[in-house]
Amino acid sequence: MKYMIHACNQRMWYVDNFLVPSLIKQGINKDDIYVYVDKDREGNLKSYIKSSKLVYEMWGDNENVWHLQDDVIVCSDFKQRTEELEERTVDLVCGFTCFYDDGRKPGLNFPKDHMWYSFPCMRVPTKLSKEFADWTDTYLWRDNQFGFWTRYKKGDDYIFRIWVESYYPEAKVLNLAPNLIDHFLLGGTIVNPQREAQSVDVRSMYFDEKWLVDELAEEIKKYDTDNR
């Protein structure tokens, strides 16, 4: 099992000093963690598509990859829970949900109307990642229904979900609660800077270790003070 962190230049200080060390501390092998950095500032959409091709090239067509964004905090038993999920015969695992998924319940579901917007933490098989990337090469950029998202270089989670609903309507999707991560915003988001840090709209609805977020906030304050 592998772990990919999707990162931008502005958040690499957090990825390098907090997120990756938190995974290694739980016992995840450093060689099983890959940080994909959008060095050229291509935006979320193109970066996700490129990383979808990359996971297949690196790890083949029979691997489950946990995709994490660069502004999350993982639960204290993240490694254990992700490894236990390998025993579940499901196609996709959504490890996060927030206000925008209101009404979509936890549990085993089919994609249509139930799959969470879970890109801060989602397990995707490399086979599906490659198929999605191949589809975008052929259809995405010429389809007017996605024009808004391609123009603003975002909407990767929305487009992926539409693709799954359309091509894998019978896929087994596990909406996992408690959530595996909380969305720890660092001064708003890169694609939506109008959001304030710690906005309740994008915080986890089922993360039951809120005290970890408070501890992390204090650690970051100390880091900021020490590195001014």
Q: Is there a domain that residue 31 lies in?
A: yes
Number of folded domains that form the chain: 1
Q: Is there a domain that residue 68 lies in?
A: yes
Q: Is there a domain that residue 110 lies in?
A: no
Mean pLDDT for the chain?
Answer: 90
Q: What are phi and psi of 58, to 5 degrees?
A: -80, -40
Q: Which pTM does this prediction carry?
A: 0.92
Paired tokens of 134: 């191949």
pLDDT for residue 195 is more than 50? no
The 10s digit of each residue's pLDDT in 85-114 is 998 889 999 999 998 887 789 999 888 888
Q: Is there a domain that residue 99 lies in?
A: no
Q: Is there a domain that residue 210 lies in?
A: yes
pLDDT > 70: what percent of the chain?
93
> 213: pLDDT confidence band, cut at 50, 70 and 90?
very high
Q: Is there a domain that residue 171 lies in?
A: no
Residue recorded with tokens 């959409």: 45
> How far apart are the two ends of the chain, measured CA to CA in Å?
38
Q: Is there a domain that residue 109 lies in?
A: no
Give the pLDDT score at 199: 57
> 47: pLDDT confidence band, cut at 50, 70 and 90?
very high
Q: Is there a domain that residue 97 lies in?
A: no
Name the residue range of residue 50's domain.
Answer: 2-86+118-165+181-226
pLDDT for residue 187 is more than 60? no
